[in-house]
Structure 1
């Protein structure tokens, strides 16, 4: 007499016990998805509770995307900056799409798209982990734990409500990874490599730094498929097709429509060390510990645990976990480190999941207690640190309200603002992007109208001469840039009209205006600054 073993956990069996026997199997298909549904709900609520005005990068992408769309519709609209040269992803992809969403529903809708992307990444990791480790446990709890650790980490919660390239790019990497696992584990057609390669190439075009994960996606296809002799042939073919597809799409793009993006790729990614200030390694490591220390500890522990059973797979996943963050730490760069941790967590979350699942299966009081404590600490850390990450930049609402009065009284004024992107975005319905100039190094060149034939002025001298010539009528300084901290608008005829102080951070803005009878500004769309480096993340 054969016996059928019920692998369902107690809670699922109890939930289905109230139904007639004929309906229990069908209902169980829905009941088993309750844990992942709860995780997604918590992730969404945790993200939506984060509030702040548009960050510098968010504002830059949204107003630039809108500017590009206007230039497509109206040939007379000229994008006087060159986002191809300093964006960390293709300007005509995410920024345009996000700007379209912004027109429909504002910043909240643009951020909601990021949340959808990160929720889908959680689903991909849940599914991929269950497929990868389906022989390790019954019931399959590894996927639930991996989704929990990933979704409720501070970097993921942060990106779930942040309107930049990162969320859609990382979601594509997560799905490419899940499809690599599934197609190899289930021995599907080698043509799935086309889909995997396409997802990887689109992820790289959206965010250049995502390329660091692409080799691990390709290798995962081979390693998972190599475990069984009968699947090796298709695994090799699938990996080769995926790599070739990604290569053809990326190289083909670089030689055609995306040829102008190479300058931005070099500046923001391959030659990035030249534009960043180096931060001590120990400081960066401590940042990782604060933002996602418990998550990475579980991932490393899971790698050690898996090493006994599947050493090659364990080493590959561990390498994918630490490479993105390790490379940035090695460069000594802190900018966007918290976001790039997610690239590693895509590969590390399954390791954390399989470790926690193994501890639960041990059914010992101490092991279950360790799982509960680890999940609680991870959850609390994610909630607290994501809120701190979202409060890093200052709420610009008071500054917007103050500057808006000047814009209303002089709609064509040209403004010099140290960090202009939030105002350029929030006042986009009343001004054009060319009316705003930053004080970033190398972002402004001035042709002195009284000294024709001379070389264009740049640096501090260019700003001082422009202030004297009434090129700008409004100046907002907060000491956040080297040039801005050196400028003295009063020496050029400006009056200090207001000082704003953020009560939470103590951040100070000083506002200067010019009220004399000097002729109207010479600023126009024709001579607007040729470069406006606002985001090189």
Structure 2
């Protein structure tokens, strides 16, 4: 006979004696299967906040190290904001019809930026953009944490914070920073209300419409927000989740219709967005630039999406499968939605054939791809930080690219300090002036001149004293020949072809003398090909 195998028996608790009120000795609490991803804890919360604060501090430092005088777009929007303020507050004559050609409502961001500029100058207006971009990064962390977990949220924020688009828009007084912030806020509301009653998603509608009002191109990302409302609610509500995107579409459509009917913005939307003239930039150039400015993070996001679709578990405990999670189909759709959104701006600008503003618009799409990039980075590092060197290498490469690209971007236009100082005594509100970038002198000398007194190098009509009408290059030649301009300022950079036409007309011209030939770089800077040439009328 084989000996009986030993068996394990659980001792039954001793019956309590009547009248015995003693509590059981050594009570055992339930042990969670996953500590980092699925349980609360004050220590984890504070560690996450500390890391996020460090990420935001780095983002702010990278933006604040940039330096140059006002770019022409910044100067234009701030000047328009001041004109709108004078019209609203002091009854000044209505400003130029900015709504007809601005890429966002002139009554929204320009007015806000002008209020800040009045008190704190260009630096203050740029700090306003920095606040918006820091807010966008914080919201990105928050809604990524709710979609996945803290570690993924921190990784997403750390990658997004050092992109060229993020760094530049954080110190650039244009529409882009508030538009990105509003899109991030709308995404946060959509994710935050996923488990709330369906009408709660309507809170996102006015934010989405405001984002489009601030910058019309933000409308490209509204379908993503609508689809996100469905995917985030589906696991908990099933088919009932279809009500959320329907409500969101209806509310957004009503608000957009009211905005169009109540204002004259439709012409601006058509001219700058839907019916914008096509350029001549090749698709290969645009795709190459898109890959250069956002390729590493996009590839990380694609890797994260593929990995997430195959293996949904985001926590480190191998025995925590019982915690459940979204199904493979929903995971794949979420990854496809977020990564596909990053392709919208490059695809649209390939359609338009222009590279203008592409470096900023790439960042709009990467805001949505960032959560998947966060998964990609955490999967690269591995559970329990098994391969931290891989994550550090990827993030360091992203930082280096972001810094070098942002520095190059801010060195891409001339420093106008010397030019403004030189022409200040030559400008008044009665003369007629020609400049490569008239927005810049108008912004810095707005107490002496107005936009209506300036002409640019991007097309002009001219009628001479004899009544003959000229357009295009002939208009510049005829106006210079007749001495129509009191000051001519060329930078040799903005439109080099027209610069050559005007310069040739200046040779042996009895009406003008060369006042200055300035190196546009500030002390210690090297902007070799940027040179201001300034002619004044005899």
Task: Give the Cα separation in 2 of the matches to 1:7 and 1:389.
Answer: 45
Q: Of 483, 490, 512, which aligns to 1:477?
A: 490
Task: Give the Cα separation in 1 of the matches to 2:396 and 2:35.
Answer: 24
Q: Of 286, 289, 293, which aligns to 1:287?
A: 289
Per-residue deviation, 1:197: 1.4
State the partner residue of 2:371. 350
Per-residue deviation, 1:41: 0.7
State the partner residue of 1:237. 243
Task: Give the Cα separation in 2 of the matches to 1:322 and 1:349.
Answer: 13
Q: Of 272, 276, 289, which aligns to 1:272?
A: 276
Alignment of 1:380-399 (within 5 A): 380-399=400-419
Task: Give the Cα separation in 2 of the matches to 1:457 and 1:90.
Answer: 33
Q: Describe the shift of the 1:39–1:448 C-alpha distance in structure 2 as closer, same or farther (beyond 3 A).
A: same
Alignment of 1:33-44 (within 5 A): 33-44=49-60
Per-residue deviation, 1:326: 2.5
Q: Of 157, 165, 190, which aligns to 1:147?
A: 157
Q: Is the 8 A contact 2:429 2:453 kept in 1?
A: no
Q: Is the 8 A contact 1:197 1:241 kept in 2?
A: no
Report SS of the residue matched to 1:327.
Answer: helix
Q: Which runs of 5+ in 1 are unaligned?
A: 10-23, 135-139, 516-537
Determine whether 1:202 maps to 2:210: yes
Per-residue deviation, 1:508: 2.1
Task: Give the Cα separation in 2 of the matches to 1:306 and 1:466.
Answer: 64
Report the more deviating stretch, 367-376 or 158-167: 367-376
Determine whether 1:458 maps to 2:475: no
State the partner residue of 1:15. none
Determine whether 1:169 maps to 2:168: no
State the partner residue of 2:438. 420
Task: Give the Cα separation in 1 of the matches to 2:140 and 2:385.
Answer: 27
Q: Describe the shift of the 1:74–1:282 C-alpha distance in structure 2 as closer, same or farther (beyond 3 A).
A: same
Report SS of the residue matched to 1:128.
Answer: helix
**Structure of larger gyration radius:** 2
State the partner residue of 1:54. 70
Task: Give the Cα separation in 1 of the matches to 2:274 and 2:376.
Answer: 35
Q: Describe the shift of the 1:348–1:424 C-alpha distance in structure 2 as closer, same or farther (beyond 3 A).
A: same
- Name the Cα RMSD after superposition: 2.4
Per-residue deviation, 1:6: 8.8
Alignment of 1:17-416 (within 5 A): 29-79=45-95, 81-134=96-149, 140-184=150-194, 187-228=195-236, 230=237, 232-233=239-240, 235-257=241-263, 260-274=264-278, 276=279, 278-308=280-310, 309=328, 310-363=331-384, 365=386, 367-407=387-427, 412-416=430-434
Task: Give the Cα separation in 2 of the matches to 1:232 and 1:113.
Answer: 42
Report the more deviating stretch, 290-299 or 481-490: 481-490
Q: Is the 8 A contact 2:411 2:527 kept in 1?
A: no
User: What whole-Å deviation, never above 9, does each CA across 1:267-301 have from its counterpart, x for those lacking one?
Assistant: 21112243x2x222232232223323321221121
Task: Give the Cα separation in 2 of the matches to 1:325 and 1:264.
Answer: 22
User: What whole-Å deviation, never above 9, does each CA across 1:4-52 have from its counterpart, x for those lacking one?
Assistant: 349667xxxxxxxxxxxxxx96565434310111101111111111111
State the partner residue of 2:18. none
Q: Is the 8 A contact 2:103 2:272 kept in 1?
A: yes
Which TM-score applies when normalising by structure 1? 0.84
Task: Give the Cα separation in 1 of the matches to 2:537 and 2:212.
Answer: 46
Q: Is the 8 A contact 1:213 1:324 kept in 2?
A: no
User: What whole-Å deviation, never above 9, does each CA across 1:289-317 have from its counterpart, x for those lacking one?
Assistant: 33233212211211221232311111111
Report SS of the residue matched to 1:378.
Answer: helix
Q: Is the 8 A contact 1:467 1:492 kept in 2?
A: no
User: What whole-Å deviation, never above 9, does each CA across 1:375-412 have from its counterpart, x for those lacking one?
Assistant: 111122222221111211111111112112323xx664
Report SS of the residue matched to 2:198.
Answer: coil
Report the more deviating stretch, 502-511 or 170-179: 502-511
Q: Which runs of 5+ in 2 are unaligned?
A: 1-27, 311-327
State the partner residue of 2:534. 511
Q: Describe the shift of the 1:450–1:331 C-alpha distance in structure 2 as closer, same or farther (beyond 3 A).
A: closer
Q: Describe the shift of the 1:382–1:128 C-alpha distance in structure 2 as closer, same or farther (beyond 3 A).
A: same
Which TM-score applies when normalising by structure 2? 0.84
Task: Give the Cα separation in 2 of the matches to 1:332 and 1:448.
Answer: 36
Give aligned pairs, total.
Answer: 481
Report SS of the residue matched to 1:513.
Answer: strand
Task: Give the Cα separation in 2 of the matches to 1:388 and 1:126.
Answer: 28
Per-residue deviation, 1:198: 1.1
Per-residue deviation, 1:449: 4.6
Per-residue deviation, 1:470: 4.4
Report SS of the residue matched to 2:218.
Answer: helix
Determine whether 1:489 maps to 2:488: no
User: What whole-Å deviation, never above 9, does each CA across 1:464-502 have from its counterpart, x for those lacking one?
Assistant: 444455442111123433434312135362122221223
